[in-house]
Amino acid sequence: MAELTVTNWFGNIVSHPQVVVEASSTEQIIAILKDPVKYPSPVRAVGSNHSTAPCGVADGGTLIKMLGMDKIVSITNQSVTAQAGAIYYDIAHQLETSGLQFYVNTEIGSLSVGSAACAGTKDGSFYGEYGQVGSYITEVEMILPSGDILEVDESQPELLQMVRSSYGLFGIVTAATFRVRPIIPMAVHHETFHIADFCQKLPQLWARNESMMYYIFPFDDLITVEFRHYNPGASGSPNRICWPLRNYMWATVGPKFCNQVTNDISDLTIRYGVINSFCALWRFKLENLVSSDYTIATDQIIHYPPVSDDSRYTFSLWAFPEEQYASVLPAFVQFSKDYYQKNGYRTNMLNVGYRISKDQQSLLSYSYDGTVMTVDPVSTANPGWPQFLDAYNAFCAERGGLPLMNQTAQLTPPLAQKTLGDRLKQFAAARKKYDPQNRLLNNYFQGMLAE
């Protein structure tokens, strides 16, 4: 049988399955898993396929596209249940019509319910809350490799903890339930710091008890921090302009402009002078226009096109214990400058990061042992990006960084095993109980789990 070609959303991760299926029902997925002749292994399921790692690659096997299973099953004043192919952006706006919102209003609105239920995500944590979408999953329905249906809920905390980071290796998720809350006014503002000043002030900034997402500009020695907090006393009408402005600049104009500059200007000094000027404009807009005492959290979520275009971008991330960040961030800034000086390469967009609270809701959580702060390079994959990522991964692992198996690009088995250690071994042992025949195990996870 001839192999097919499927790429991730960005287009840089290629899969060659023998069979591709558009899922329409639970019964169809059961039939697929029970027929290894017609539907060869590995069987992998994908939603919008935004992962920057080859989690959904099914070389020689069967790829199930889940977006056709997109029904919102039920909404109550405390929860929403939806099929695995439903998209986060769509659910969030449906919740808004009922006066509700997600706890974590993550930027990538193309996130599917199935991915949210069993894969890692990121967002700056609000005070006393988690920053990972899956931490608010309360129930998951999945089809095991045997074809049996397994339902896992909060009455099985240890199993649910594993399922939240199972990456489709226990079974194919068909539906999940999220905890939700009433809409609360949210305030946002931005402040820019010199890197050294930011690192010195970190304890004071943490003491504000605000969510922190930030934009890192290594070649300007600057960082712009997005502070958010709930503001239930806000009066008047919400500002419905500042988040769409942020999203348009960040997800459309920014990558499109930086990609065009990269393609059109060969002189590196001029090219990055133009990009640095754009970053200065970006900081100005954040500080002066993306600021309000009353916004709606749902407005943060970005609706990316189903098929990527010339405004697409990609990224990677490592997380570090927050108490080490004052040394890690300046080292990363210097690393970026040294790498550019030696290799003539730098990312052609800014870098970002998040502060994510300690979270043991999933076994492979990158903030399992404590609150973390991340370093996330962002790029349109300008020439030299893969080689930069290899150096960046080594830099992060040497400094005690923790990866995310679906969003740390070019992660290698030795780095995953070194950084995730015993929790990865524990997960590997549990996976075998649910998939002893390796029906769902692709080459990427086989390497990560040392199998």
Please tell me the distance from the alpha carbon of residue 426 to that of residue 116, in angstroms, as a whole number.
21
Residue 450 pLDDT:
87
Peptide bond preceding 218: is omega within 30 degrees of 0, i.e. cis?
no
| Cα separation values, 282 from 103, 112, 186, 285, 378, Å | 27, 29, 22, 5, 15
Residue 334, sorted as left (phi over 0), alpha (psi -120 to 50) or beta, turns out to be: alpha
Nearest to 209 by CA among 280, 320, 308, 128: 128
* pLDDT tens digits for range 276-303: 999 999 999 999 999 999 999 999 999 9
Gap between the Cα atoms of 234 and 348, Å rounded: 38
For the record, the structure tokens of 75 come out as 């909404």
> Quick one: which of 40, 93, 87, 80 has its CA closest to 62?
40
Q: Amino acid identity, residue 253?
A: V
Same fold, 6-65 and 186-413: no
Instruction: Find how far residue 122's CA is from the centre of its chain.
Output: 5
Task: State how far Cα 96 lies from the chain centre.
Answer: 23
Give the model's pLDDT for residue 81.
Answer: 98
* Predicted confidence pLDDT, tens digits, the chain (451 residues): 567 999 999 999 999 999 999 999 999 999 999 999 999 999 999 999 999 999 999 999 999 999 999 999 999 999 999 999 999 999 999 999 999 999 999 999 999 999 999 999 999 999 999 999 999 999 999 999 999 999 999 999 999 999 999 999 999 999 999 999 999 999 999 999 999 999 999 999 999 999 999 999 999 999 999 999 999 999 999 999 999 999 999 999 999 999 999 999 999 999 999 999 999 999 999 999 999 999 999 999 999 999 999 999 999 999 999 999 999 999 999 999 999 999 999 999 999 999 999 999 999 999 999 999 999 999 999 999 999 999 999 999 999 999 999 999 999 999 999 999 999 999 999 999 999 999 999 999 999 998 6
The per-residue pLDDT for 1 is 55
pLDDT of 3 reads 79
Tokens of 423: 């929790």
Q: What is the pLDDT of residue 2?
A: 62
Which listed CATH number (1.10.1130.10, 3.10.129.10, 3.30.465.10, 3.30.70.920) goes with 72-183? Answer: 3.30.465.10
pLDDT digits (tens, 9 = 90+) for 81-111: 999 999 999 999 999 999 999 999 999 999 9
- Give the residue extent of every domain in the chain: 6-65, 72-183, 186-413
* Dist CA 126 CA 208 (whole Å): 11
Query: CATH for 6-65?
Result: 3.30.43.10
Rounded to two decimals, the pTM is: 0.96
How buried is 34 (Cβ within 10 angstroms: 0-12 exposed, 13-18 middle, 19+ buried)? Answer: middle
pLDDT at 36: 97
Report residue 288 as tokens.
């002066």
φ, ψ dihedrals at 389, nearest 5°: -60, -40
CATH of domain 186-413: 3.40.462.10
- Does residue 202 contact residue 326 with C-beta atoms inside 8 Å? yes
